[in-house]
Amino acid sequence: MTLLLACAVCVAAGTFGSMVGIGGGLIIIPVLSQVLGYDIKLTIAASLIGVIAGSISASPRFLAAGIADRRLAVTLLVATVAGGLTGGLTGSFLDERTLAFLLATLLVLVAIQMAFVLRRSRAHASKQAAEEPSTAVRTRADRPTGRMAAFDTHYVEPRTGQEVPYRVERLGPALGVSFVAGNVSGLLGVGGGVINVPTMTSIMGVPLRVATTTSTLMLGATAMSSALVNAAGGRLDPLLAAPVVVGVLVGSRLGARVSLAVSQDVLRAVFVIVALVFAVQTYGRLL
């Protein structure tokens, strides 16, 4: 019964994680460790496998739709994978209560940040759209020069069919934040999307739709580095990973289909609420 319950929880987590580009680990780990009583370190390791599964399951659809920015993804991956390696190593030295506290704190910070930063990113996107009409033909003088010109691109909004141009900005600082995101992923078993998505929208000026799909694309490789550290180091229980992965695979397919038709404001609101609920629950258990 516990196994089937774990599977059901992971289906829900996979659906939600795929919709907002965070991989579901932020829900899987608290529920499996705090509610169902699994060891938190083993849960974190199993969650990393679930994060990879969610990413590889959902990404083909986003790639086919041409929304995920592959070029941006492989650029940021250098930093997130390096961070995942160091985070995975660090996590192996910490005790369970410390990990639980860090996870709850992350949930609170992310909830606050997401609500605040995404409100700012909407204003930024409006300003960028006003400066760059989506159907205008750009002249050579309008385009940025040098390496950043290669990140001047566009995507097609699936709900309207409209071409939306955007320009990737401040790549340097974003790489630094991505390294931190990788560390968080490796340390706490989450995908890193909780940091990647706000980074792409608020620092880099990437539209939310592109940020969530690109983040989902990146999650697999990001979690792979710390998963390798755990698996090769003997800290991964494959029997715990089975219900996590099966649940996430089913949920991520559902989420990938639903997310393209859901309002971005709805995605943001749901994420904030769920994150705060689990954070409070985890703090309560530590007291």
Partner 1 sequence: MTRGVLHVGTLVGGACLLLALVLEVVGGPGVVEASAGTGSSLLDVPAIAASVVGLHPWGWSALGVWVVIATPGIALVATALEFRAIGDRWAVGATLATIALLVLSLGVGLVRGS
Binding site for partner 1 (CB under 8 A): 3-4, 7, 49, 52-53, 55-57, 59-60, 63-64, 70-71, 74-75, 77-78, 81-82, 84-85, 88-89, 92, 147, 150, 220-221, 224-234, 236, 238-239, 241-243, 245-246, 249
* CB closer to partner 1 out of 52 and 267: 52
* Number of Cβ within a 10 Å radius of residue 145: 7
* CB closer to partner 1 out of 51 and 274: 51
Angle at the Cα of 262 from the Cα atoms of 259 and 265, rounded to 5 degrees: 115
Residue 223 to residue 149: CA distance in whole angstroms: 30
CB of 283 to partner 1, least distance (A): 31
CB of 210 to partner 1, least distance (A): 16
* CB closer to partner 1 out of 87 and 207: 87
Q: Read off the tokens for 178.
A: 């991505």
CB of 99 to partner 1, least distance (A): 17
Q: Read off the tokens for 2.
A: 């516990």
| Residue 146: exposure state from Cβ atoms within 10 A (0-12, 13-18, ≥19) | exposed
Contact 223, 23 (CB under 8 A): yes
Residue 167 to residue 204: CA distance in whole angstroms: 8
Q: Read off the tokens for 152.
A: 């001047």
Angle at the Cα of 260 from the Cα atoms of 130 and 194, rounded to 5 degrees: 80
CB of 203 to partner 1, least distance (A): 18
CB of 286 to partner 1, least distance (A): 28
* CB closer to partner 1 out of 187 and 245: 245
* CB closer to partner 1 out of 60 and 173: 60
* CB closer to partner 1 out of 232 and 287: 232
Residue 13 to residue 27: CA distance in whole angstroms: 6
Contact 103, 45 (CB under 8 A): no
CB of 220 to partner 1, least distance (A): 4
